[in-house]
Amino acid sequence: MLLPFDYVRAQSKEDAVSFAIEAGPNGRFLAGGTDLFVRMYDRQQRPKTLIDVKEIEGIEGVECRNGQGLSIGAASPLNMLVGNTTIRSEYGLLAQAAHSVGSLQVRNRASIGGNICNASPAADTAPALLVYEAEIETWGPRKPRLIPISEFFTGPGSTILEHGEFVYKIRIPQPDTKSYGVYLKLGRTNSVDLSIVSVACLALAGGEVRIALGAVAPTPIRVREAESILLSRKDEEAIALAAAAAKETAVPISDVRASDRYRLDMVEVLTKNAIEQALAGLAATGEV
Ligand SMILES: Cc1cc2nc3c(=O)[nH]c(=O)nc-3n(C[C@H](O)[C@H](O)[C@H](O)COP(=O)(O)OP(=O)(O)OC[C@H]3O[C@@H](n4cnc5c(N)ncnc54)[C@H](O)[C@@H]3O)c2cc1C
């Protein structure tokens, strides 16, 4: 059973900030509620006030800004991203990652903002946003901030957000070149489970290959060491070295889903597969 709580619906960005400040440390922003209500039900969190952000103008929806990339409202449900034709064709890795979350029903409620603000090391959209080098547009007592996603996560369940600050939009820059991305997720089952290991790999025409890992460190991480190996060569040996470098960078824990040793081995396997698939996908577009 849920403990009683107050519910307020913010109609504007200013409303949301002042409600949050008024509520103090016992206030929580609410989007789809698929994380928050589970935690409240389990008594892991006991907020006194929920501040619903979904009616703030502009917080839901996907905007493709001509030549300037993508702007995604934080409260956009993941199924909105999965079904968006621009995201599917130009930012396919994000569509794959969003599609890998939970079930169809969960994705109808679960928002991209909630996915990153929950700050689970296994959050599926996080590795995709890392390789697309997304920026997080927030609104708070200090007015708007644009935070690189690489600085957003500070530990398991924690972010750089200050008290009263919420995520308004997620901005993804337009890649300079053609790209092809792959998201590989290993769970205990093939459906509705958090990742044991996840890998996002984005191959860009021009030679850059970006790689990020989920569920194998206190936060989702970029693996620059692996990326630099692939800058000059992309042969079998270089791919194996990059996968080994990803394994070297990971610092997983053992938990109910998997042991740390299994995770480490799977980081290497999935990274190798993701690189091969991303490079093959890019080659098939005719732009290398
Ligand atoms: C059955 C089930 C399966 C799931 N499977 C997966 C999975 O495979 N992969 C995965 O990554 N997740 C999974 N989840 C977790 C969850 O669905 C996602 O993390 C989801 O994206 C959270 O979004 P939400 O809108 O529901 O967030 P909420 O529950 O509303 O909020 C989550 C947290 O973020 C904060 N928050 C929300 N929006 C904002 C904002 N705009 N600004 C600041 N703070 C905000 C809230 O205060 C809260 O602390 C699963 C959950 C369930 C119940």
pTM for this model (two decimals): 0.97
Pairing of strands 27-30, 49-52: parallel
Find the largest Cα–Cα distance for the chain.
59
Which residues does ligand 1 sit against, CB inside 6 Å? 28-36, 38, 53, 74, 101-102, 106, 109-111, 113-115, 117-118, 122-124, 166-167, 192, 194
Residue nearest to atom 53 of ligand 1 (CA): 34
Q: Where in the chain is the domain with CATH 3.30.390.50?
A: 179-284
Pairing of strands 166-172, 69-73: antiparallel
Lowest mean pLDDT segment, chosen from 23-27, 167-171, 223-227, 284-288: 284-288
Query: In the structure encoding, which two tokens stand for residue 214, read together?
Result: 């989920």
The reply to whether CATH 3.90.1150.10 applies to domain 62-172 is: no
Residue 35 CA: nearest ligand 1 atom is: 29
Of the candidates 79, 95, 99, 98, the residue with the CA atom closest to the CA atom of residue 87: 95
Strands of 103-151 (E only): list them: 135-139, 145-148
The reply to whether CATH 3.30.390.50 applies to domain 179-284 is: yes
The predicted structure's pLDDT at residue 82: 98
Residue 176 pLDDT class (50, 70, 90 cuts): confident
Residue 103 CA: nearest ligand 1 atom is: 3
Paired with 167 in beta bridges are 138
What CATH number matches the domain at 6-52, 3.40.190.10, 3.90.1330.10, 3.30.43.10, 3.40.50.800? 3.30.43.10
Average confidence (pLDDT) over 209-216 = 98
* 282 Cβ contact list (under 8 Å, min separation 6): 178, 179, 180, 203, 204, 205, 288
Q: Report the percent of the chain where pLDDT is more than 90.
A: 93
Ligand 1 test: best mutation among 117, 152, 168, 213, most atoms within 8 Å of CB?
A: 117
Average confidence score pLDDT of the chain: 96
Ligand 1 test: best mutation among 9, 101, 124, 159, most atoms within 8 Å of CB?
A: 101
Residue 167 pLDDT class (50, 70, 90 cuts): very high
Q: Where in the chain is the domain with CATH 3.30.465.10?
A: 62-172
Read off the pLDDT of residues 36-53 as tens digits, 9 standing for 90 and up. Answer: 999 999 999 999 999 999
Of the candidates 252, 193, 190, 248, the residue with the CA atom closest to the CA atom of residue 220: 252
